[in-house]
Amino acid sequence: MTASLSIRQVGKRFLSRGTIVHAMSDVNLDVAEGEFVTIVGPSGCGKSTLLNILAGLFPPSSGQVHFRGERTSGLNPEIGYVTQQDNLLPWRTLRKNVLLPLEFRGVSVSNGVAERVQALIDKVGLSGFENHYPHELSGGMRQRVNIIRTLICDPRVILMDEPFGPLDAQTRLTLQNQLLELWREERKTIVFITHDLAEAITLADKVVVMTGRPGTIKSVTPVTIPRPRDVYHIHDSQAYREIYDKLWEELRDEVAKVM
Protein backbone atom coordinates (compact mmCIF):
# COMPACT_ATOMS: atom_id res chain seq x y z
CA MET A 1 0.00 0.00 0.00
CA THR A 2 1.26 3.47 -0.83
CA ALA A 3 1.30 6.05 1.90
CA SER A 4 -1.18 8.81 1.31
CA LEU A 5 0.06 10.93 4.18
CA SER A 6 3.33 10.44 5.94
CA ILE A 7 4.09 12.53 8.95
CA ARG A 8 7.74 12.69 9.94
CA GLN A 9 9.06 14.04 13.22
CA VAL A 10 6.41 16.72 13.24
CA GLY A 11 6.40 19.14 16.16
CA LYS A 12 4.61 22.40 16.84
CA ARG A 13 5.29 25.20 19.27
CA PHE A 14 3.07 28.19 19.77
CA LEU A 15 4.10 31.54 21.11
CA SER A 16 1.28 32.41 23.41
CA ARG A 17 1.36 35.47 25.69
CA GLY A 18 5.13 35.47 25.78
CA THR A 19 5.47 31.82 26.71
CA ILE A 20 6.16 28.95 24.37
CA VAL A 21 3.54 26.23 24.38
CA HIS A 22 4.96 22.96 23.18
CA ALA A 23 1.83 21.51 21.68
CA MET A 24 3.24 18.53 19.86
CA SER A 25 6.55 16.86 19.29
CA ASP A 26 8.03 13.99 17.30
CA VAL A 27 4.85 12.82 15.70
CA ASN A 28 5.42 10.02 13.22
CA LEU A 29 2.53 8.43 11.41
CA ASP A 30 1.78 6.85 8.05
CA VAL A 31 -1.70 6.83 6.63
CA ALA A 32 -2.23 4.53 3.67
CA GLU A 33 -4.32 5.35 0.64
CA GLY A 34 -7.95 4.55 1.45
CA GLU A 35 -7.25 3.93 5.12
CA PHE A 36 -9.50 5.04 7.97
CA VAL A 37 -7.38 6.22 10.89
CA THR A 38 -8.82 7.50 14.15
CA ILE A 39 -6.91 9.50 16.75
CA VAL A 40 -7.68 9.71 20.45
CA GLY A 41 -5.80 11.53 23.19
CA PRO A 42 -6.26 13.77 26.19
CA SER A 43 -7.64 17.24 25.68
CA GLY A 44 -5.04 19.80 24.65
CA CYS A 45 -2.55 17.24 23.36
CA GLY A 46 -2.39 18.77 19.92
CA LYS A 47 -4.87 16.71 17.93
CA SER A 48 -6.51 19.70 16.28
CA THR A 49 -3.10 21.23 15.78
CA LEU A 50 -2.03 18.13 13.89
CA LEU A 51 -5.05 18.31 11.60
CA ASN A 52 -4.48 22.03 11.00
CA ILE A 53 -0.95 21.19 9.89
CA LEU A 54 -2.16 18.35 7.66
CA ALA A 55 -4.75 20.69 6.13
CA GLY A 56 -1.96 23.17 5.42
CA LEU A 57 -3.39 26.01 7.51
CA PHE A 58 0.04 26.52 9.07
CA PRO A 59 3.38 24.75 8.79
CA PRO A 60 4.88 22.57 11.54
CA SER A 61 7.69 24.06 13.66
CA SER A 62 9.77 21.01 12.95
CA GLY A 63 9.53 17.91 10.79
CA GLN A 64 7.60 17.54 7.60
CA VAL A 65 4.49 16.10 6.04
CA HIS A 66 4.40 14.27 2.72
CA PHE A 67 1.28 13.84 0.67
CA ARG A 68 1.57 11.01 -1.88
CA GLY A 69 5.31 11.21 -1.68
CA GLU A 70 5.61 14.96 -2.03
CA ARG A 71 6.45 17.38 0.71
CA THR A 72 3.47 19.60 1.46
CA SER A 73 3.48 23.35 1.78
CA GLY A 74 0.33 25.33 2.24
CA LEU A 75 -3.22 24.43 1.40
CA ASN A 76 -3.94 21.45 -0.76
CA PRO A 77 -7.14 21.10 -2.77
CA GLU A 78 -6.90 17.32 -2.48
CA ILE A 79 -7.35 17.50 1.28
CA GLY A 80 -10.74 18.24 2.81
CA TYR A 81 -11.22 19.31 6.41
CA VAL A 82 -14.36 18.84 8.49
CA THR A 83 -13.97 21.00 11.55
CA GLN A 84 -15.35 20.48 15.01
CA GLN A 85 -17.74 23.41 14.72
CA ASP A 86 -19.88 23.07 11.65
CA ASN A 87 -18.85 26.52 10.39
CA LEU A 88 -21.75 26.81 7.98
CA LEU A 89 -22.57 30.24 6.61
CA PRO A 90 -25.74 31.31 8.42
CA TRP A 91 -26.85 33.49 5.54
CA ARG A 92 -26.82 30.65 3.04
CA THR A 93 -29.34 27.88 2.68
CA LEU A 94 -28.29 24.27 3.04
CA ARG A 95 -27.86 23.82 -0.70
CA LYS A 96 -25.95 27.05 -1.14
CA ASN A 97 -23.65 26.08 1.71
CA VAL A 98 -22.84 22.85 -0.09
CA LEU A 99 -22.23 24.80 -3.30
CA LEU A 100 -19.76 27.20 -1.65
CA PRO A 101 -16.57 25.22 -2.38
CA LEU A 102 -17.67 24.79 -5.99
CA GLU A 103 -18.13 28.53 -6.30
CA PHE A 104 -14.69 29.02 -4.79
CA ARG A 105 -13.26 26.70 -7.41
CA GLY A 106 -15.10 28.42 -10.21
CA VAL A 107 -17.17 25.33 -11.06
CA SER A 108 -20.30 26.46 -12.84
CA VAL A 109 -23.42 24.75 -11.59
CA SER A 110 -24.35 22.72 -14.64
CA ASN A 111 -26.96 19.98 -14.60
CA GLY A 112 -24.43 17.33 -13.72
CA VAL A 113 -23.16 19.26 -10.72
CA ALA A 114 -26.63 20.06 -9.46
CA GLU A 115 -27.46 16.37 -9.64
CA ARG A 116 -24.37 15.40 -7.72
CA VAL A 117 -25.19 17.93 -5.01
CA GLN A 118 -28.73 16.61 -4.78
CA ALA A 119 -27.52 13.00 -4.69
CA LEU A 120 -25.26 13.77 -1.73
CA ILE A 121 -28.01 15.64 0.07
CA ASP A 122 -30.34 12.70 -0.44
CA LYS A 123 -27.75 10.19 0.64
CA VAL A 124 -27.35 11.73 4.08
CA GLY A 125 -31.08 12.08 4.52
CA LEU A 126 -31.42 15.84 4.13
CA SER A 127 -33.82 15.94 1.21
CA GLY A 128 -36.57 18.45 1.75
CA PHE A 129 -34.30 20.78 3.72
CA GLU A 130 -32.32 22.15 0.76
CA ASN A 131 -33.70 25.64 1.19
CA HIS A 132 -33.48 25.78 4.97
CA TYR A 133 -31.03 28.07 6.69
CA PRO A 134 -28.55 26.58 9.18
CA HIS A 135 -30.46 27.93 12.18
CA GLU A 136 -33.45 25.95 11.00
CA LEU A 137 -31.49 22.68 11.12
CA SER A 138 -30.59 20.48 14.06
CA GLY A 139 -26.98 20.01 15.16
CA GLY A 140 -26.79 16.59 13.52
CA MET A 141 -28.16 17.95 10.27
CA ARG A 142 -25.69 20.81 10.27
CA GLN A 143 -22.81 18.42 10.80
CA ARG A 144 -24.02 16.36 7.85
CA VAL A 145 -24.04 19.47 5.70
CA ASN A 146 -20.54 20.22 6.91
CA ILE A 147 -19.44 16.76 5.79
CA ILE A 148 -21.04 16.76 2.36
CA ARG A 149 -19.72 20.27 1.76
CA THR A 150 -16.28 18.72 2.04
CA LEU A 151 -17.22 15.68 -0.05
CA ILE A 152 -18.57 17.75 -2.92
CA CYS A 153 -15.03 18.67 -3.97
CA ASP A 154 -14.11 15.01 -4.01
CA PRO A 155 -10.86 15.31 -2.03
CA ARG A 156 -8.65 12.24 -1.70
CA VAL A 157 -8.09 12.80 1.98
CA ILE A 158 -10.66 13.91 4.54
CA LEU A 159 -9.60 15.22 7.92
CA MET A 160 -12.32 15.20 10.56
CA ASP A 161 -12.01 16.89 13.96
CA GLU A 162 -14.51 15.42 16.43
CA PRO A 163 -17.28 15.91 13.86
CA PHE A 164 -19.88 14.14 15.99
CA GLY A 165 -18.64 15.55 19.29
CA PRO A 166 -21.64 17.56 20.45
CA LEU A 167 -24.29 15.14 19.21
CA ASP A 168 -26.43 12.75 21.22
CA ALA A 169 -25.68 9.03 21.21
CA GLN A 170 -28.49 8.13 18.80
CA THR A 171 -27.51 10.68 16.19
CA ARG A 172 -23.85 9.74 16.52
CA LEU A 173 -24.56 6.12 15.67
CA THR A 174 -26.65 7.10 12.67
CA LEU A 175 -23.95 9.40 11.39
CA GLN A 176 -21.21 6.86 12.03
CA ASN A 177 -23.19 4.42 9.95
CA GLN A 178 -23.62 6.92 7.14
CA LEU A 179 -19.96 7.83 7.25
CA LEU A 180 -18.91 4.18 6.98
CA GLU A 181 -21.19 3.74 4.00
CA LEU A 182 -19.82 6.80 2.27
CA TRP A 183 -16.31 5.61 2.97
CA ARG A 184 -17.02 2.15 1.59
CA GLU A 185 -18.41 3.60 -1.62
CA GLU A 186 -15.81 6.27 -2.20
CA ARG A 187 -12.73 4.82 -0.52
CA LYS A 188 -11.37 8.08 0.79
CA THR A 189 -8.44 8.30 3.10
CA ILE A 190 -9.83 9.52 6.42
CA VAL A 191 -8.09 10.87 9.50
CA PHE A 192 -10.69 11.19 12.22
CA ILE A 193 -10.25 12.68 15.69
CA THR A 194 -12.62 11.72 18.46
CA HIS A 195 -12.75 11.69 22.24
CA ASP A 196 -15.04 8.67 22.15
CA LEU A 197 -13.06 5.44 22.23
CA ALA A 198 -16.04 3.36 21.09
CA GLU A 199 -16.40 5.58 18.04
CA ALA A 200 -12.67 5.36 17.35
CA ILE A 201 -12.74 1.56 17.31
CA THR A 202 -16.01 1.25 15.38
CA LEU A 203 -14.78 3.32 12.49
CA ALA A 204 -11.07 2.64 12.24
CA ASP A 205 -8.62 0.48 10.41
CA LYS A 206 -6.20 1.65 13.07
CA VAL A 207 -6.54 3.69 16.24
CA VAL A 208 -3.79 6.11 17.22
CA VAL A 209 -3.41 7.03 20.89
CA MET A 210 -1.61 10.28 21.65
CA THR A 211 0.09 11.26 24.88
CA GLY A 212 -0.58 14.40 26.87
CA ARG A 213 1.15 17.66 25.94
CA PRO A 214 3.53 17.84 24.24
CA GLY A 215 1.52 15.35 22.25
CA THR A 216 3.29 12.50 20.61
CA ILE A 217 2.17 9.10 19.45
CA LYS A 218 1.89 6.52 22.17
CA SER A 219 0.55 3.57 20.21
CA VAL A 220 -1.01 2.53 16.95
CA THR A 221 -3.49 -0.34 17.22
CA PRO A 222 -4.90 -2.07 14.15
CA VAL A 223 -8.60 -2.91 14.34
CA THR A 224 -9.15 -6.18 12.55
CA ILE A 225 -12.89 -6.48 13.15
CA PRO A 226 -14.28 -7.42 9.71
CA ARG A 227 -16.26 -4.96 7.62
CA PRO A 228 -18.96 -4.03 6.93
CA ARG A 229 -19.41 -3.30 10.60
CA ASP A 230 -22.67 -2.94 12.41
CA VAL A 231 -22.29 0.26 14.39
CA TYR A 232 -25.24 -0.65 16.59
CA HIS A 233 -24.01 -4.06 17.73
CA ILE A 234 -20.27 -4.02 17.31
CA HIS A 235 -19.90 -3.32 21.04
CA ASP A 236 -21.09 -6.83 21.87
CA SER A 237 -18.31 -8.62 20.04
CA GLN A 238 -15.35 -10.17 21.82
CA ALA A 239 -12.78 -8.65 19.47
CA TYR A 240 -14.20 -5.19 20.17
CA ARG A 241 -14.03 -5.66 23.95
CA GLU A 242 -10.40 -6.72 23.84
CA ILE A 243 -9.32 -3.70 21.82
CA TYR A 244 -11.43 -1.40 23.94
CA ASP A 245 -9.86 -2.61 27.17
CA LYS A 246 -6.33 -2.33 25.84
CA LEU A 247 -6.86 1.19 24.50
CA TRP A 248 -8.76 2.38 27.53
CA GLU A 249 -5.84 1.39 29.75
CA GLU A 250 -3.42 3.38 27.61
CA LEU A 251 -5.67 6.37 27.38
CA ARG A 252 -6.49 6.38 31.09
CA ASP A 253 -2.82 6.71 31.97
CA GLU A 254 -2.45 9.71 29.69
CA VAL A 255 -5.59 11.42 30.89
CA ALA A 256 -4.54 10.81 34.50
CA LYS A 257 -1.20 12.56 33.84
CA VAL A 258 -2.94 15.60 32.45
CA MET A 259 -5.47 15.94 35.28
Ligand X SMILES: Nc1ncnc2c1ncn2[C@@H]1O[C@H](COP(=O)(O)OP(=O)(O)OP(=O)(O)O)[C@@H](O)[C@H]1O
Site for ligand X in 210-249 (CB under 6 A): 213
User: Residue 167, interface with other proteins (CB under 8 A)?
Assistant: no
Nearest to residue 207, comparing CAs of 159, 157, 247, 156?
247
User: Residue 48, interface with Mg ion (CB under 5 A)?
Assistant: yes
User: Residue 206, interface with ligand X (CB under 6 A)?
Assistant: no
User: Residue 83, interface with Mg ion (CB under 5 A)?
Assistant: no
Piece of the chain touching Mg ion by CB under 5 A; list 41-49, 100-108, 140-148, 243-251: 41-49
Least distance from C-beta 102 to other proteins, angstroms? 9
Please state whether 93 falls in left (phi above 0), alpha (psi between -120 and 50) or beta. beta
Angle at which helices 169-186 and 139-151 pack, to 10 degrees? 10
Among 3, 32, 100, 234, binds other proteins (CB under 8 A): 100
Please report, for residues 130, 153, 237, the alpha-carbon distance to residue 125 in angstroms, rounded to integers and kept in the order given: 11, 19, 29
User: Residue 109, interface with other proteins (CB under 8 A)?
Assistant: no
Among 4, 6, 38, 49, binds ligand X (CB under 6 A): 49
Please state whether 17 falls in left (phi above 0), alpha (psi between -120 and 50) or beta. left
Q: Pick what 131 binds: ligand X, other proteins, Mg ion, none; C-beta below 5 to 8 Å, kind-dependent.
A: none
173 membership: H or E segment, kind and range: helix 169-186
Contacting residues for 156 by C-beta, under 8 A, at least 6 apart:
4, 33, 68, 78, 79, 188, 189
* Cβ neighbours around 186 below 10 Å, total: 13
Site for other proteins in 46-75 (CB under 8 A): 55-57, 75
Least distance from C-beta 137 to ligand X, angstroms? 24
User: Residue 116, interface with other proteins (CB under 8 A)?
Assistant: no
Phi and psi at residue 97, to the nearest 5°: -65, -40
Q: Pick what 44 binds: other proteins, Mg ion, ligand X, none; C-beta below 5 to 8 Å, kind-dependent.
A: ligand X
Please report, for residues 8, 29, 66, 205, the alpha-carbon distance to residue 32 in angstroms, rounded to integers and kept in the order given: 14, 10, 12, 10
Residue ranges binding other proteins (CB under 8 A): 55-57, 75, 77, 79-81, 83, 85, 87, 89-93, 100-101, 103-105, 133, 135-136, 138, 149-150, 153
Residue ranges binding ligand X (CB under 6 A): 14, 16, 21, 23, 43-49, 213
